[in-house]
Chains A and B, each alone.
Chain A
Amino acid sequence: MKERQLVIIGGGSGGMAAAIKAYDEGIKDILILEKDGCLGGILNQCIHNGFGLTEFKEELSGPEYLSRFEDEVKKRGIEFKLHSLVTNITRDKVVTYTNKEEGVVEIKAQAIIMATGCYERNAGAIQIPGDRPKGVITAGTAQKYLNIHGYLVGKRVVILGSGDIGLIMARRMTLEGAKVLCVSEIMPYSNGLQRNISQCLNDFNIPLYLSHSVSKIVGKEKVEKVVISKVDDHFKFIPGTEMEFECDTLLLSIGLIPYISLLENINCPISSTKGAMVYDNMETFIDGIFACGNCLHVHDVVDFVSEEGRNAGHGAALYLKEKEATSSIDVKYDKLLSYVVPQKVRIPVKEDVTLKFRVRREIRNANVIVKSKDQVLSQTFKMVMIPSEMVMIKLNKDKLANLDDELYVEIVEKK
């Protein structure tokens, strides 16, 4: 069996950033395995701009953003294989992949970085009441049809869910001549970035109905009508609030889920993000297997994925260079947070640690406090935190030097 130092599964923004970072830190024997025909993952179909504001201080389209990373990968001569689907990994890091030229191949890796991205939550997962005709399609699939292949999936469209892809597609389909009738969101707040609500809906007079969901799909073979109803605090439909929309398409933008069958198969501990649980160096709880990007937790913007990819690349490089046994502490949080990544921090802490989390509801004027044994390590004031925007708190390594008990993240709202 061939051996490789570092195998990166997924050649999207997380995987490429991880590869570049690991290479620059001295790991030269790297292989990226990408299932699609090109590097860059989902960015290939994101032809709108808004990428790179943090990373490059300029506004780029998805393909422009990915090509900058692709250039860096190629400049370093990092090996990557396309059309190569990883079908299995083992706990001792044997990676099995398949492609046309080599057939089925097993390689033994010293370290693995999972950068497999996410998939779209679809109609099957939420059991929308009513018929199951053709014309119910996820926003990302519609985006691929339109931006990669040049085809519209419908002419009169209702969008369920205010995730960013749905908002982007509301504008994109409108510009291509479709009529987008409304966006309905079951939560009392939008799940998309504020800039997308404004630029993709408001600018095109597309109504956004909060606390509304699809109560019925009508149409035997093709979507004919979608009924939207208001929901109460328990997400139950309120009778009498129905609004009917004649349409041919129901576009779903109801969330993204980490795509981690490979990790599930080896019983890797999974967090409430539906991604793997990780240490601060992005290592999962399985020795030598790292994870980053949307397969760990779904990010708002790609710039943060690239940064997390670098963290994983750095973590893997250190792991390969100086394997040493350490202990760790847990990261716990109060009920206003829906998750915190990482779930554990290795001690003694040698580098700064960034805690990333989301809140469960909109919170204004609050302090984010990170404590350990009643000692406040960091206190950050936030004017506003909303579920659709990831919060990041950077902890200085000097403050964490003597850490030996769990970290606790809490939010204290100011009266």
Chain B
Amino acid sequence: MKYDVLIIGAGAIGASIARELSRYLLKVALIDKENDVGNVTSMANSAIIHSGYDPIPRTNKAKFNVLGNKMFDQISDELDVKFERNGSLTVALYDSQLPLLEELAKRSKENGVKVKLLSKEEVLKMEPNISPEVKGALYAPTAGIIDPFNLVVHTVENAVDNGVELFLNEEVINIEYHDELSKVLTKDKIFEAKIVIDAAGLSSDKIARMVDPNIDWKITPRKGQYFVLDHYKVGLVNRVIFPLPSEKGKGILVSKTTSNNYIVGPSSEPVDDINDLSTDTMTLSNIRFQASEMVPSIPFNQTIRAFSGNRATCTRHDFVIERCKGKENFIILGGIESPGLVSSPAIARYVVEEFVKKTLTLKENPSFNPRVKKYLRPKEMDFKERNELIAKNKDYGEMVCFCEQVTLGEVKDVLSRSVPPRSVKAMKKRVRAGFGKCQGGFCQPRILAELAKHYKVSWLDVNYDELDTNILVKNVKEPK
């Protein structure tokens, strides 16, 4: 299989690049080792579209964060992804932190980010549930929150609709680099491409070393643990609330999500294994303590889930965005940790303009459509719209997930699209079935049944997530 460009990794970065390339007449492959797109770091993060007030000026992080942030109104509209520019507050709880706030304000100015220093009174007026101990805050109105699951899914869907080929469950085992046509080997496929892009996130160093064993950086993953709380009684906090950042990152934040939950976290712990997604009691209680210092009334008894994700922190302490030395047609995007999500569309544009365009002659794709087919969300419609929809398609009147009020119509819709869910978890990421307080207790059998029906497989062959994670192990009714 020969391609102009092959992208390794279908997370936020790989997805954005694929979509950006689909604007041109190119043969593009997007491959990922997982059973779904956006299934690693892009799915387990704070889901924040950062303003860019915090990265050190003139770094890649600062540059792409600020550029990326500006692109999200258009992207969320074109890709029909929930996004709210609700602003962020970075709060000082001690007098000794006030100079740091001013320093951050200066940094914001250098980065070109609009911010405002707020007094204690102004903070409490904006966010009455912040601790009365607060001394002041830095307000960044351009920060926002996004649905990170559908951001990646819809980006890839749009790319595929515009001609990109997606391959899942393809783990790269070796790369044979050649200036004209490189070979990328997976367990049972050989992909050939003129340009190979490493967007492998936590594995970006491993992939890069397949081409250049002497790269001068490596990934040192850092785990972040989180709490997710059930649907809120409106108004605990309306903006993203950060503590002051430190070397370890932006600190433990408290935020609402686009699905009307609250998220609290992350911790920041070095881990040896990129697949270590465990949670532990001590870290979680520490998160609880620190978050409660900022927002004392967080209803932790409403916790519906704790999870963790790993950041692709790298030893260069900045995003690696470059051609491989001496192997110009291998492009490395490494160490893309926070603010990677917000930076992804800007990085994608840069990669196309600075690298791909200089190697290949690009012709615009005349049939490129920047929009995904509109997603119908009955829950957000008024009665009249909803009844018209149900009159046309009865499936939108049948609820399959009671907690999140997801209809059969929505389930069937995502199965009919170009990046359909292949597992129960992939379905959950798209339509939110199983995200509510019962965590799938009621709806999982129904979702499993719909997946089995769609793919015409036995119930025993429906996976929870990766291949070989079947939920059911034995049919006790059928005779052997």
Contact = CB atoms under 8 A, between A and B. Distances in A.
Interface of A: 35, 83, 85, 87, 98-104, 106, 119-120, 122-125, 127, 129-134, 137-138, 140-141, 144-146, 148-155, 176-177, 217, 220-222, 248, 259, 261
B278 A151 contact: no
A101 B396 CA distance: 10
A127 B439 contact: no
Nearest to B306: A127
B418 interface: no
Contacts of A127: 279, 281, 284, 303, 306
Contact of A125 (B303, B390, B459, B460): B303
B391 interface: yes
Given A132-B307, A146-B476, A148-B445, 9 more contacts: A98-B378, A98-B397, A98-B407, A99-B398, A101-B394, A119-B442, A133-B469, A151-B459, A220-B277
B437 A119 contact: yes
A119 B444 CA distance: 13
B435 to A, nearest CB: 10
B471 interface: yes
B390 A129 contact: no
Contacts of B444: 141
Given A100-B394, A125-B304, A131-B277, A151 B386 contact: no
Interface in B295-314: 303-307
A122 B439 contact: yes
A101 B397 CA distance: 7
Contacts of B390: 98, 100, 103-104
B469 A221 contact: yes
Contacts of A146: 476
Nearest to B442: A119
Contact of B460 (A98, A151, A155): A151
Interface in B258-302: 275, 277-281, 284
Contact of A122 (B394, B441, B474, B475): B441
B291 to A, nearest CB: 15
Contact of A100 (B383, B397, B459, B466): B397
A261 B386 CA distance: 22
B465 interface: yes
Interface string B439-480: 111101100000000000001100111101101111111100
Contacts of B464: 134
Given A101-B394, A127-B279, A134 B386 contact: no
Given A99-B398, A129-B280, A132-B279, A151 B403 contact: no
27 contacts: A98-B378, A100-B398, A103-B387, A122-B441, A124-B303, A127-B306, A129-B279, A129-B280, A133-B469, A134-B464, A134-B469, A140-B441, A141-B440, A145-B445, A146-B476, A149-B459, A151-B474, A151-B475, A152-B474, A152-B476, A176-B476, A217-B278, A221-B465, A222-B468, A222-B469, A248-B473, A261-B231
Contacts, number: 134
Nearest to B382: A104
A152 to B, nearest CB: 4
Nearest to B387: A103
A149 B303 contact: no
B282 to A, nearest CB: 9
A372 to B, nearest CB: 33
Contacts of B378: 98
A368 B231 CA distance: 40
Contacts of B402: 35, 85
A265 to B, nearest CB: 9
Contacts of A99: 397-398
B473 A153 contact: yes
Contacts of B306: 124, 127
Nearest to B405: A87
A144 B477 contact: no
A103 B476 CA distance: 37
B476 A124 contact: no
A154 B476 contact: no
Interface centre among A35, A130, A154, A261 (most CB of B within 10 A): A261
A35 B406 CA distance: 13
A6 B477 CA distance: 41
A124 B281 contact: no
B228 interface: yes
Contacts of B399: 35, 83, 85, 87, 98
A92 B305 CA distance: 34
Contacts of A134: 463-465, 469, 471
Contacts of A132: 277-279, 307
Given A122-B438, A124-B303, A131 B278 contact: yes
Interface centre among A83, A151, A217 (most CB of B within 10 A): A151
Interface centre among A85, A101, A176 (most CB of B within 10 A): A85
A188 to B, nearest CB: 20
A219 to B, nearest CB: 10
B39 to A, nearest CB: 12
Contacts of B303: 124-125, 127
B283 to A, nearest CB: 10
A261 B476 contact: no
A135 B325 CA distance: 45
Contacts of A176: 474, 476
A337 to B, nearest CB: 21
Interface centre among B402, B440, B459 (most CB of A within 10 A): B402
A145 to B, nearest CB: 6
8 nearest A-B residue pairs (beta carbon): A150-B477, A124-B305, A134-B464, A151-B472, A103-B387, A103-B390, A85-B399, A100-B397
Contacts of A122: 438-439, 441
Nearest to A147: B476
Given A127-B284, A144-B445, A221-B466, A119 B438 contact: yes
Contact of A104 (B278, B383, B460): B383
B72 to A, nearest CB: 29
A287 B395 CA distance: 35
